[in-house]
Structure 1
Amino acid sequence: MSESEIPKAPRLFPDNAAIVRIGEGLLDRTLPRADWTHEAHIAATTWLVRDRPDIAVDRRIAAIISAYNVAVGGVNDDSGGYHDTITRAYLAGVRAHLAPRDAAEPLVACVNALLKSPAGFRDWPLRFYSRAVLFSVAARRGFVPPDLAPFPVPC
């Protein structure tokens, strides 16, 4: 593995409140754009799946993230903004990570463990997709099934 392939250490969260702030800021579109990092994406989706059963994540995630992107001055087009296939790959990783965990575990411990696991790495979707498929316009605009391997199934 070359130096450029070594995963960067993730920025971990100090407490539950920091994660809830990210999730609520995403939902109400007040999260500063600079705070919408890879780690924030993972934290917000984990919080939504685990702690917000009132939100139909699979049905609403595209609209939630797309609306947030526009609210902070971004776009959702063929080359930028919301990427459906990457989002859904990480949702599969979040669900596989949550399945065997104790529901009483603090949110921060759960999110930080996910960020330190392979499913939290920036290149994790490339375990399931070729670059050509993952970074295609079709994959950005809608879900494209994996072309290399199936997603992990929650236990």
Structure 2
Amino acid sequence: MTNTQHEPRLFADEAAIRRVGEGLIARTLPREDWTHEAHLAACAWIVRMRPDIAPERDLPAIIAAYNEAVGGVNDDAQGYHETITQCFIRAVRLHLARAGQADLPTLVNGLLAAPEGQRDWPLGFYSRALLFSVAARRGWVEPDLAPLPTVMEA
């Protein structure tokens, strides 16, 4: 599925990406800067530049803590969403595996233009009802429409 209703906000340089990643971790990124694009850029930066952070394991707590630090709530209706986060970590890893060793802005901006960088990418694998369920928000749920691709398939 491709979201044609939204032009992605691209990143000018590596410093802009690093600012988002470091701001997420430090919980200093302004809330209005925590966009879909920022989520993907921060994840790509973490995968590429922070081998001390295991995204699948560590991003849930990092994002939930960030949300609370900027006045958000993580509950059954808003804030951190486990299944969407894990899907997009997979999307980032797929894109990075395909894209090779390009510089970070090229990788991130390419991801934002790629199918797996689109906001609705998980809906190719999940029904809307399942993806936006409380169970999917609170924990990982397997897709009900199609299996998610793996890095080995990329």
Shorter-chain TM range is over 0.9
The whole-number CA distance in structure 2 between the counterparts of 1:54 and 1:91 is 16
Worse overlay, 26-35 or 44-53: 44-53
Aligned runs of 1:109-120 on 2, under 5 Å?
109-120=106-117
Report how far residue 102 of structure 1 moved. 2.4
| Equivalent residue, structure 2, for 1:38 | 36
| Equivalent residue, structure 2, for 1:135 | 132
Cα-Cα RMSD: 1.3
The whole-number CA distance in structure 2 between the counterparts of 1:28 and 1:96 is 26
Q: Quick one: which amino acid aligns to residue 44 of structure 1?
A: A
Q: Quick one: which amino acid aligns to residue 66 of structure 2?
A: Y
| Equivalent residue, structure 1, for 2:48 | 50
Percent sequence identity over matched residues? 63
Kindly indicate whether the alpha-carbon contact (under 8 Å) linking 2:55 and 2:89 is maintained by their aligned counterparts in 1: no
The superposition leaves residues 51-92 of structure 1 with CA deviations (integer Å, 9 ceiling, x where unpaired) of: 211112111111000000000000000000000000001111
SS in 1 for 2:24: helix
Aligned runs of 1:100-111 on 2, under 5 Å?
100-103=98-101, 105-111=102-108
Matched length = 151
Ranges in structure 2 where 5+ consecutive residues have no aligned partner: none
| Equivalent residue, structure 2, for 1:10 | 8
Kindly indicate whether the alpha-carbon contact (under 8 Å) linking 2:24 and 2:62 is maintained by their aligned counterparts in 1: yes
The superposition leaves residues 27-66 of structure 1 with CA deviations (integer Å, 9 ceiling, x where unpaired) of: 0000000000010001001111122111121111110000
Q: Quick one: which amino acid aligns to residue 74 of structure 1?
A: G
The whole-number CA distance in structure 2 between the counterparts of 1:39 and 1:18 is 12
Report how far residue 7 of structure 1 moved. 3.4
The ranges of structure 1 where at least 4 consecutive aligned residues each deviate by more than 4 angstroms after the TM superposition are none
Q: Quick one: which amino acid aligns to residue 34 of structure 1?
A: E
Kindly indicate whether the alpha-carbon contact (under 8 Å) linking 1:7 and 1:121 is maintained by their aligned counterparts in 2: no
- TM-score by structure 1 length? 0.94
